[in-house]
């Protein structure tokens, strides 16, 4: 029997430009990219392909030094046209010029009855070989899961509360069977339960509501209620020495398709959203797709910031960029590279702010969608302790004190204040409401790496 959790702390950022409920099929982008930088904790990624090589969907592209059996594979078939490196020859991305018709590496297929008899070792072997393993993320630290570890539980967030977040019933429509098979596979990898966490008030897709063999929990409340770290905190908190795995619904579906069909199916639906998009809607594509075809002729102006992911935690990619490995949305916002006199304290009708004095109009009309640019309305300054971080963090931790302990590099204090329970997305709202304009997510990642390697 699942649990019902009601969260009160948090803040919804209601932006203009949500995707219309329709999925559009267009000519596929020409290039696709896989970036090691999308995966936290990858150590010395080493390519196994060169420029000019041809690959199939599911062919290995690179692996890391620490876990050489964890393969990162091609989402499409085609020719490798670039192996991009940065400083000290660090691998940054591998670009593939895609075939018009996708060809697949073939893996072993199983019937439903055969899947029930598989061992954990059999499951891990197939997941590692196909390249689907990196969809499984390990807490603490938010890194790619260690195949040698058995987690105490696996958590799947079946809804998203980030700004302009896509509707999961649109993203995963008709994927009931592979999702169920994916759940059956994941149950073999944990000593505990598989949790599917849904929203209590929104309409729940049958993909999640009809699932069997998993704990289906319900959450209500504002963002960050959809963040899996917040959900884990209220269901079964992570203590020092604990290991929990998380995976998004697409990863579960890909696991199901791998065992049913014997292929790595990297197809996905991506929402192109934002106030500067003429027709915000959903597109069928594949992991790592170029965004050019989605944006050409579809922008209201040229001076915009294109983000792979959501406006709070996404990555700036530009108009020629590619969708990140874990992202289901591309957000386009007005660029805010202008100076505003005493903008950090001036109230305005267009502003969205957690502080009522500055964003009074957004509080008077909370249902109205607003246009928000990327201007931070101020520069970093002294760390002011206002208590606002605690008001937007629905967890029993003290974010202000945690961040200060990270700046002081006090590992014992970090552990005592709950650093094992959070990654960037869990505290992203703190960065949005911070009057001191600190890069909260960067600070937190520095603390996580310090603890991880201590």
Please tell me whether residues 69 and 139 are part of one structural domain.
no
| Run of H or E including 206 | helix 206-209
Residue ranges in 133-200 assigned as alpha helix (H): 168-171, 176-186
Domain boundary among the residues 244, 261, 278 is at: 261
Please tell me whether residues 71 and 115 are part of one structural domain.
no
Predicted pLDDT of residue 351: 63
Domain boundary among the residues 65, 81, 98 is at: 98
The order of strands in the sheet holding 154-157 is: 4-6, 215-220, 194-199, 154-157, 244-246, 137-139, 143-144
Please tell me whether residues 252 and 114 are part of one structural domain.
yes
Predicted pLDDT of residue 9: 96
Predicted pLDDT of residue 218: 96
Please tell me whether residues 115 and 251 are part of one structural domain.
yes
Domain count, the chain: 4
In a domain, 358, yes or no: no
Please tell me whether residues 141 and 188 are part of one structural domain.
yes
Predicted pLDDT of residue 350: 59
Please tell me whether residues 238 and 192 are part of one structural domain.
yes
At 183, is the secondary structure helix, strand, or coil?
A: helix
Please tell me whether residues 50 and 194 are part of one structural domain.
no
In a domain, 41, yes or no: yes
Q: Who's near 232: CB < 8 A, 6+ residues apart?
A: 139, 153, 155, 238, 244, 246, 421
Predicted pLDDT of residue 409: 97
Please tell me whether residues 231 and 294 are part of one structural domain.
no
Please tell me whether residues 231 and 115 are part of one structural domain.
yes
Domain boundary among the residues 261, 294, 321 is at: 261
Please tell me whether residues 288 and 228 are part of one structural domain.
no
CATH number at residue 93: 2.40.50.100
Separation between Cα atoms, residue 96 and residue 30, nearest integer Å: 8
Block means of pLDDT (10 residues each) for the chain, 454 residues, are 91 95 93 96 92 98 92 98 94 97 96 93 97 97 96 98 96 96 97 95 85 96 97 96 97 98 98 97 98 96 96 96 97 83 57 57 64 75 79 95 96 96 97 90 97 92
Supply 86's token pair.
């940065």
In a domain, 42, yes or no: yes
Torsion of CA 219, 225, 192, 450, to 10 degrees: -170
Q: Could you tell me the residue range of the domain that residue 283 belongs to?
A: 270-347
């Amino acid at each position: 029997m699942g649990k019902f959790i009601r969260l009160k702390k948090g803040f919804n950022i209601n932006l203009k430009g949500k995707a219309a409920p329709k999925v559009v099929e267009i000519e596929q982008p020409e290039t696709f990219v896989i970036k090691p930088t999308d995966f936290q904790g990858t150590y010395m990624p080493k390519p196994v392909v060169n420029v000019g090589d041809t690959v199939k969907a599911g062919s290995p592209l690179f692996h890391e030094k620490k876990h050489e059996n964890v393969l990162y594979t091609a989402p499409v078939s085609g020719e490798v046209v670039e192996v991009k490196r940065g400083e000290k020859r660090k691998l940054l991305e591998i670009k593939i010029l895609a075939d018009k018709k996708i060809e697949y590496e073939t893996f072993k297929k199983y019937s439903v009855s055969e899947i029930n008899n598989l061992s954990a070792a059999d499951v891990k072997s197939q997941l590692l070989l196909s390249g689907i393993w990196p969809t499984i993320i390990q807490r603490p630290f938010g890194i790619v899961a260690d195949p040698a570890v058995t987690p105490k539980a696996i958590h799947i967030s079946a809804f998203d509360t980030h700004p302009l977040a896509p509707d999961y019933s649109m993203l995963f429509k008709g994927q009931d069977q592979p999702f169920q098979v994916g759940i059956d596979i994941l149950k073999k990898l944990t000593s505990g339960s598989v949790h599917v966490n849904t929203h209590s008030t929104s309409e729940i897709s049958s993909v999640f509501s009809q699932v069997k063999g998993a704990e289906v929990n319900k959450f209500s409340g504002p963002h960050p209620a959809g963040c899996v770290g917040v959900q884990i905190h209220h269901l079964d908190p992570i203590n020092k020495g604990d290991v929990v795995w998380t995976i998004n619904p697409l990863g579960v579906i890909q696991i199901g398709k791998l065992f049913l069909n014997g292929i790595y199916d990297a197809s996905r639906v991506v929402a192109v959203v934002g106030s500067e998009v003429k027709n915000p809607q959903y597109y069928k594509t594949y992991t790592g797709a170029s965004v050019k075809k989605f944006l050409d002729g579809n922008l209201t102006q040229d001076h915009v910031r294109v983000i792979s992911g959501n406006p709070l935690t996404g990555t700036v990619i530009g108009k020629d960029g590619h969708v990140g490995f874990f992202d289901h949305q591309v957000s386009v916002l007005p660029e805010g590279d202008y100076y505003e006199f005493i903008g950090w304290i001036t109230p305005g009708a267009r502003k969205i702010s957690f502080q009522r004095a500055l964003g009074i109009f957004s509080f008077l009309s909370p249902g109205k969608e607003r246009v928000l640019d990327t201007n931070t309305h101020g520069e970093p300054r002294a760390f002011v302790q206002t208590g606002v971080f605690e008001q937007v963090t629905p967890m029993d931790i003290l974010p202000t004190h945690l961040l200060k302990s990270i700046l002081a590099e006090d590992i014992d204090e970090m552990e005592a204040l709950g650093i094992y329970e959070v990654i960037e997305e869990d505290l992203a709202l703190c960065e949005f409401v911070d009057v001191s304009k600190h890069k909260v997510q960067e600070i937190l990642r520095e603390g996580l790496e310090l603890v991880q390697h201590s």
